[in-house]
Structure formats: C-alpha cells, structure tokens
Structure 1
C-alpha cells in the first residue's frame, strides 16, 4: 500500500549530476575546469584574430570546442537554476549562479569575437566552408551568427556590454527573484494563519470558492504594493539597459530582438494578433456564460481561472502521472516511454512546500542528455496540464539530443509548440473520459481557460510591454504609471469585459523580469496556435503523424518558423488562413461548452 502511494517521487534527483547540492565538491571542480577551458578558448580565438586562418580543419576544431563548452555551460546553468528554484534561500546556490554568470559572460565575449571573425572572412571562403560536409549540418546557425554580427556593435564593445551586464542587467533580474523568494502571504486556514509562498498562494487562485480567490488576490496585491517601488525600479533598469544597448546598435524597433530570437517575421506576428483580435467575440460569450455559472454579473480577474465545477476534484500525483502516460501512448508509444522514464528516474520536482520559487519550467542538462522539470503540484486540473506541458518540452529536447549542439538551440515560440501539443493530448483525453456531464464541463472549461490565457492574458502582456518600452525610452516610468499601463492593456485585450482588473500584474509576472529575452509573451501564443494546427493534422492523419511530428521538432533549431511551417505543413504563416483554422478549433470547444451549460 505504501509503495503504491509512492510509486513516483515528487522530488527530483540532482545528485545524479553533482552530489551534495550547492555544497557539491564535484560541481565546484566542474566549474573550475569549465572556467579554465573557457579561458583557453578565449586565448585561441584571440590568436585567430591576430592570425586569421582559412584552414577548414582549424575552424572545425574551433566549432567542436564551441559546442562542447555550450553543452557544459548548459549543464552547469541547469544545475544552478534547479538549486535556486527548489530553495530560494540557498545562498550558496546564489553565489554559484554569480560565478557561472561570469564564466558565461566570458564565453559569450569569446563568441562575439568569433562572430567578428566570421564576419571578416571573405564571402567566397565563408561559402566554401559551409558547403563542406562537416559544416553543412550546422550551416543555418552559422549563417545566423554571421548576419547578427553585422547588425551589432564591434566585438570589443559587445564584449564590454556583456561583461557589464553580469552585475548590471542580469543582476536586476536576480534581484527580482530574491524579492519574490522572500515574500510571504498570510492566509487564514483551518483556524490558523499560514505564511504562504507566492507559488502556494497563486495555486489558490483556482479555488472553486470565490471568497478564497478574492481574499488571496487582494492579499497578493497588498504584498506586491509593499514592494512596488523596488519592483518598479527593477523593471525600469532592465528596460533602460535594453534600450541603451539597442540605441548604440542603431536598432530602431524594440521588437527586433524578440522577433530575431524567435526566427519570426513581423508580418507573421501582426497577422497572428490581427486574427486573434477579430475572433475574441466567442470568448466573450464564454465569459458571459461562466459569469452566470459562478453567480456573478461579470467576471473579475480572480474569476478567470476559477473552476465552474461545484466541487474541486483533487487528483493524486501518481494518478496524474498514469493518466498522462496512457494518453501519450495513444499518440506515440515512444513519447510515453520517455515520459515514464522522467517519472521513474525522478526528473520532476513537484512537491507542494514552502521555499520554492513560483511557476514551472523545464531545463536541459545537455552534457548528460537529461532534462529536469520544476512545478508545484496541488492536484488541480491546471497542475496536470502544467505537468504535461513541461513533459512536452522535455520530449522536444529528447528527440534532438543526437543533433549537433548548435542546431539544438530552438527558439521559444517553437519550444512552446511541443509543450502545448502535449497539453492538447492530455486535455482532450480528459474530456473524452469524463464520467459525468459536470466533469466534462469542468475539464472543457479548463482547456478553454488556456485559450483565454493565450488570446487575452498574453495579449495584455504584449500590449503592456510594447507601451512600457515606448514610455521608458523617454525616461523612468513610475509605479503609478505602470499600474495605469497595465490596466489599460488588460481592458483592451479583454475587450473591457471584466469587473475588476490586476494593476500589479506587471510586478507579479516573472516573465517581465527575465533577462534572456524581452517580450516573453507572444511566443506562447504562437506556440499554442501552431501546436493547435499541428494537433488538427494529428487527429486527421492518426498514428502516422507521430513521425512527421518528430521530424518537425528536429528541424526547429535549423530554420525560420515560416520555413518550418511551409516544409512540414505546407502553409504560409504571414497569411490568416492557418491562424483562422487553428482558432476555429478553439471555437468548437467553446461551442461545446455553451451547449453543455445551457
């Protein structure tokens, strides 16, 4: 009985990589060796700057070193991220993160010099190099690096900016994590006041009890208000750093970097948002029906992700895992086998406990060919979706592990494709296997809520961030003005359909503070709709589609999204047809919900 309850552990295994956590002597040795090898690589590149070479053997050796160091940096970075996430008070882990940031900055400076060498190489020599059989598999990322080098500052200036970013730009992002990690939300439960982490409090926002949701929402906002000045400064300095760097690079659009990072054209982005905006009417009908079911005139922000079921059904972790494995197996037995390995070998940290950072993620230990998944599991339908989502990320990486490291770097928008595809498999199966009409309604509504997130919530984030950068380019933006911009964006994105909005969402959302790339929003919506189109093909073609799906995932690191869609689906993403077809599938879910809740 006991072993059955503990079939799958909710705590991940990090010792398999480096025993001892943040005190691991093996990890310190790993970092020391990585630091030495990074220094040696930099010396090698500096030598090539003094004496450029056209010998393909020399360049092949250089690129092999680049890929090896990239794998090891990924390994070290993943370990540190896991340590800091599982315990936000782990001060040793924070120090390791700082040291790793310096190593990463040094490596990036070397890569910047390498890119400059690529740029200075005569075009005939460059083309001849890429045509060689050893280089053709990595030709796309190499061409991309050369093009980007032409659009940036000279190598020394870019290296300086990268060095300064460690204790400037990235440090502001680290500060946000520290602030959120120490925050506690007082919550009265079972006759006593508990001090909840942000992640634990956020989980209660999906409670079926409106009094609970409203109370937690306002307690959270009180906590964000107390930190408003510091968080506003943090956001302003992150934005200011980016804008200054863009100004020196002579970039005239704040969207240049996020679009380029996502290998996506502005035409595709504009078409996607235009089609979404024209199709929000049916979601507003869903809001009206949901408000009726919840017994309110209009939904408030804290009602958006509330379940309509009268009783909240709690699912055990083992039960959730078994269900996910069963549904993955229907699509592709290999996908299920992989996910079972992740559960069995403790790749997942899901325990609901204080001290963890909020949210969920999947990270890759490239040197070991493994992934790790982080979340807080409380037994809700949304938690099951998150678990399937992160397993989708891990599977995406799994099918690419045998490719050269340089073509494993897929962009965020196509990364979200694999994760939301996995969600669709699980959510549709949940709806089909529902044992009652009420359960079917609840599960269908949970699925539609994700459409709300991608079409409305994330649209609000995109609008806010666009306008924030417009105003930040003219000077600092006050906390009061940030709240105004946030509510304006929410009202526009939600078509002014809510009774109460979230003025502190700019402070509450981690994604605004991630330094890896700005506009950590629209790629989610792209991935959701792109995967919806893929999922439609899967339903039409049956089991034969599994191989096509893997082939598409394997190409995600070596072409633009427009080329990817045309090659594997035969569609043009700059035209509305594909997007409308994906949204039509969402509309069918809403129609079904409206019919069931008459």
Structure 2
C-alpha cells in the first residue's frame, strides 16, 4: 500500500498580505520605474552607466515579482473558473504584465543608445537590444501594447466566449449528459476510448459549430490580419520572423526540421492501417489517430503509485531530479485533485521570487495522467534549475521548455516499457508512446502548415469558413498521406492556439522540443554520455543561449543539418514499426 498523498496544492504560503495590495504595490512600482527610465539620459559617463546597470538589476527583481504575481493569479483562477472575483484578479494581473511590457520598451530605447559593450555579459539584454533594433519607435510599440487589450486580445476572448456557449447532449455510459464545447474539444484531444462516442462527438461538435462558422472565421481573420498589419509596419515580410526570434531558432533550423518530418510522413501510414484493423474498419478517421485501440488498456493506476513510478525512473537518471519531485510533493506544489469547477488545462508555472514552482493537472487514474504529470514535472525541474540563475537569465522560450518536459516523459515511458514483460500491457504501453509522437510531432506539423498557409493567403484577402475548412482538409490530407477515411475541417475553430494574439505559430516548438529531447535521451540513457550534472547545466544554459548554440555545446550537433533530426525520427519510427509488428 502507498501512503496517501495530498492532491491539492498550497498557494497560501506565497503571500502573507492581501493579493490586491501586492498588485497595487507592483503597479505603482512599474509606473515609477517607467517614469524614471523616461527621464534617464542615454548612459555615456561611467556614473551614468553604473546607474543604468543598477536600474537593470532592479528591473530584473521587479520582473520576477510581476511574473510571480501573474503566476499566482493564474493558479488561483484555475482552482475555480466560475468565480468572478478570481477572473477579475487574473484580468488585473494581465494588465500588470502589459504595464511591464511598456516598461521594457523604455529599457529597449536606452539599450539602443548604450554602447553594446556595457551589456555584453547579459544574453537577455543583448537579445532585447537586437529585437528592439527591428521594431517601431518606443512610442508606437507602447501604443501597440496598450491597444492589444481592446484589439487582438479581445478577438481571442470573443472566440473563447463563443466556445463556452456551445453545449452538446451526449450519451456517455448509458446516460444523457450535457457537455460544454471546451469539454468536447478536450475529449477529442485526449481521444475517448469509445470509437462510437468519438464519432458521435466529432459529428455533433461540427453541427454545433456550423451556425457560427462565419463568426469564427471573422475572428480568426482579424487575429491574423492584425498580426500581419503589425509585421508590415515593422518591415517584417516573413510571417515567421517574430516566432523564430522569440524562440531563439534560426529559419535554417526550422527548415531542416520540417524537411526531415515531411520526408518521413509515409513511414507513419502502417500505424493508421493497424489502427483500422484494431477498430474493425477499412480506414480510420482523423478523430481515431490518437485513440486507444481495442486491445487491453494499460492498467489503472493510483496517484500515489503513479508518483512512485515517476520517482523510480527519474532516480535512474538523476537522483537530484527525483529529490526535487519529492520536495514538490512534500511541500504541496502539485494540484492533481479531480473536482468540478477547476480548469481543464494542464500547466506548470514558475514562482521566481519564492524559487518555487506549481504544477496543475487533474489525475484520473490512467497511465496517460501519469505521463502528463511527468511532463509537467519536467517543466518544474527545468524552472528549478533556472532559479539558480539571475532573474533575467531565467527566461526560456517554448521551444526549449518542451525539451525538458518531453525528456522527462521519455525517462518515464522508456523506463516503464523496459520493465514490462511481453504481453498486452506492453503492447498498449508502446501504443501510448507512439501516440505521443502524433501529439508532439504530427499534429503540430498539421497546425504549423495550416497557419503558414493561412498567413500567406491572409496577406491578400479574408477567408470564408468554407475556405478555411478546405485549407484545413488539404493540409491534413497531405500530412496523413491521404490515408484516412475522413478529416476534421473545423480544427481551425477547435484549436485555440491559432487565436493566441501574442504567440504566433505556437506549434512547431513541440516538434522541435520532442525531437531534440529524443536526441538528448539517446545521448544520456542509451550511450551513457550525459550525466545528471551535465543535464542540469544544459537546463541552466537554456536561459542564455539560442537553440543552435545549445545543441553545439551539449550535443555536438548542427541543428541546421537535417541528419540530426533524421536520427531522432529514426528512433521514433522504430517504435511505430515495433508496434505494428505486434499484430
């Protein structure tokens, strides 16, 4: 028997005063700092340079406090999404983040007027200086930030409100049940095990969204249109310019990655054929790609047993990593309770002042939940290692964050697989691993190609719902090698990542992180050339390097060379081939 572990997290230890007071104090400090920067001359003398450096240190501390407040508000809101007070607090904290952005615009102005040698020792400031040189004037950039709340962000919120209004009546477990649009999207994303229910869900969801399809199309056109117009004003012709910059990835690396993925797509077709055999159909639909097939499922598992499983496999690679998880459990940094009212999203967030992390998930007694928990604990351990660096060296893009999380999943899944005897459970587990490849590689590739094509067409004209449907089907058909019986034209509505106004192309980062982590895993666990200490150093370097530098230093590879990505893909395709051979 396992000792029962508390599944509700602790937020109360983070602030000893009313949170409204914390927000008010931070708002005042950000305003005062911005005014001080506006009145600060370009640093020229030794005294002015010293004063500017001290100001930058102060802003680093303030940045940590603001980000912790934002994280706390998100955590508090996630506990009860219907609570209006919590929603108001989250809106206020988001406003505070907007204020911090305008403060950094003043920092950027001074960085451009400062001798580059002054900031040579700070990667983040060098990065900001370069980015600022490619943007509009501080006044116009500030205006864009201030307008965003009533501009692109409002369109995104409108789409969310429309989704929340959707209701579907489903027969689940023999009972008529009404589910929300958000819940329906989640059920499709996680692929409910009942194929009849999946099909019914896909059809009913499409029917429910159809009456408002042109409204969704209008919203998406506005989000993309505003982005493209902003890029045009900045002189950016490439729609990938900002996302590559923010994710510290070169276009040559992304091209090498995509070329490797494209070349290997036919190697996944046997998986679709096996899924069809297991489900007793000639060809599967798109909603069946990630579905658990008809064989014996992975054994149900308790939260306590799941944590023990994670700990045992983390321990094999890094006792320090396992000790961190024990600390997170003991100090109640994990929220895993299943209850009504809490958010259905899964996340890990950093609390940089407290040097703590929080993980939010819902544990439902399935192996998939254990895998997701390992994923988020991978993020948490990454943040833990970054917390040893100065505040401005703790900022990492999604591309790098996804390396740590998927590496942790590989530690768990590969370790668990190696310990299982041949049989139905091992086959089911291998199937789970293969489905991760579709979740982190194939489906994000669909999203990337769709968004890229959408941006190209949107430069010329707006698109109707029918045109967006057609574009989505065309992309899905190409990626899935025309091997499916049907596709999901409305995926452009159901995927909220297309509507994120401040995160363009939030998709390929998962591909990059997943394949990079496969290479890292091969180095560490298969070749034995990566120690726990080296991995910790790798994580700390993610705050002060771009992707190409990181790969050269820690893996000795060139990410612009397709061969690295091909080696990682070969490992993943072998899993597919092994799974197909099982019958």
Query: TM-score, with normalisation over the residues of structure 2?
Result: 0.94
Distance 2:99 2:566 in 1: 45
Given that 1:173 and 1:515 are in contact with CA atoms closer than 8 Å, whether structure 2 keeps it comes out as yes
- Between the aligned partners of 2:128 and 2:51, the Cα distance in structure 1 is 18
- Mapping 1:220-231, distance limit 5 Å: 220-231=205-216
1:96-133 superposed Cα distances (whole Å, 9 cap, x missing partner)? 23322332222211211221111122xxx331x235xx
Q: Which runs of 5+ in 1 are unaligned?
A: 20-24
Task: Please give the secondary structure, in 1, of the residue aligned with 2:486.
Answer: coil
Match of 1:109 in 2: 102
1:86 to 1:381, Cα distance in 2 relative to 1, 3 A? same
Shift of 1:181: 4.3
Shift of 1:500: 1.3
Decide which moves more: 498-507 or 430-439.
430-439
1:546 is the counterpart of 2:532: yes
Q: What's the CA shift string for 1:249-273, capped at 9, x where partnerless?
A: 0110100000111111111101111
The match for 1:300 is 285
1:264-279 alignment runs, 5 A limit = 264-279=249-264
Aligned twin of 2:9: 12
Alignment correspondent of 1:446: 432
| Structure 1 residue matching 2:295: 3-state secondary structure | coil
Equivalent in the alignment of 2:384 = 398
Provide the C-alpha distance between the structure 1 equivalents of 2:94 and 2:485, rounded to a whole number of angstroms: 44
Comparing 366-375 with 419-428, which one deviates more in the overlay?
366-375
User: Deviations for 1:50-84, whole angstroms, at most 9, x for unmatched residues?
Assistant: 88765332022111121111111111111222233
CA deviation profile, 1:226-246 (whole Å, cap 9, x unmatched): 543443333222212211111
Contact 2:42-2:113 at 8 Å conserved across structures: no
Give the C-alpha shift of residue 377 in structure 1.
2.7
CA distance in 1, matches of 2:183, 2:350: 25
Shift of 1:344: 3.1
Indicate conservation of the 8 Å contact 1:200/1:354, yes or no. no
Tell me what 1:22 maps to: none
Is 1:261 aligned to 2:253, yes or no?
A: no
Q: CA deviation at 1:495?
A: 1.2
Aligned to 2:119: 130
Are residue 559 (structure 1) and residue 553 (structure 2) matched? no
Distance, in Å, in 1 between the alignment partners of 2:85 and 2:325 is 32
Q: Secondary structure at the match of 2:387?
A: coil
CA RMSD of aligned residues (A): 2.2
Answering whether residue 316 of structure 2 is matched by residue 330 of structure 1, we say yes
CA deviation after TM superposition for structure 1 residue 544, in Å:
5.3
Distance 1:479 1:180, change over 3 A: same
Contact 1:199/1:356, CA 8 A, preserved across alignment: no
Partner of 1:194: 177
Q: Spell out the pairing of 1:107-506 with structure 2 (5 A cutoff).
A: 107-121=100-114, 125-127=115-117, 129-130=118-119, 136=121, 138=122, 140-198=123-181, 200-201=183-184, 202-203=186-187, 205-312=190-297, 313-506=299-492
Aligned to 2:88: 95
Report how far residue 543 of structure 1 moved.
Answer: 8.2
Q: Which residue of 1 aligns with 2:65?
A: 72
Deviation at 1:463, TM superposition (A): 0.9
Distance 2:573 2:535 in 1: 24
Q: What SS does the corresponding residue of 1:193 show, helix, strand or coil? A: strand
Which segment drifts farther, 263-272 or 373-382? 373-382
Contact map agreement 2:402 2:514 (CA 8 A) in 1: yes
Q: Residues 235 and 470 from structure 1, CA distance in 2 versus in 1: closer, same or farther, beyond 3 angstroms?
A: same
Deviation of the 1:189 alpha carbon: 3.0
> 177-186 or 565-574: which moved more?
177-186
**265-274 or 489-498, which moves further after superposition?**
489-498
1:299-342 CA-to-partner distances (Å, cap 9, x unmatched) read: 11121111125344432222212211111111111111111222
Q: 1:196–1:354: 8 Å Cα contact kept in structure 2?
A: no
Instruction: Check if 1:529 corresponds to 2:515.
Output: yes
Q: 1 CA distance for matches of 2:461 and 2:125?
A: 37
Superposition pairs of residues 15-30 of structure 1, within 5 angstroms: 15-18=12-15, 26-30=18-22
Question: Against the structure 1 CA distance between its residues 331 and 227, is the aligned structure 2 distance closer, same or farther, given a 3 Å change threshold?
Answer: farther
Q: Pick from 534, 556, 567: which aligns with 1:581? A: 567
Q: Which residue of 1 aligns with 2:39?
A: 47
CA contact (8 A) 1:172 1:238 kept: yes
Deviations 1:542-581 (A, max 9, x none): 3852211111111111111111101111111111111111
Alignment check: 8 A CA contact 2:441 2:514 kept: no
CA shift digits 1:436-460 (9 cap, x unpaired): 5111111101111111233321111
1:281 Cα deviation from its structure 2 partner: 2.2
Question: What is the CA distance between 1:541 and its match in structure 2?
Answer: 4.1
CA shift at 1:362, angstroms?
1.3
CA distance in 2: counterparts of 1:573 and 1:189, whole angstroms: 47
Q: Matched residues in 1 for 2:529 and 2:316: separation? A: 8
Matched residues in 1 for 2:317 and 2:182: separation? 32
CA displacement at 1:384 relative to structure 2: 2.0
Range that drifts further, 377-386 or 222-231: 222-231
1:150 Cα deviation from its structure 2 partner: 0.9
C-alpha distance in structure 1 between counterparts of 2:65 and 2:207, whole Å: 42
Q: Is the alpha carbon distance of 1:540 and 1:435 closer, same or farther for their aligned partners in structure 2, counting shifts above 3 Å?
A: closer
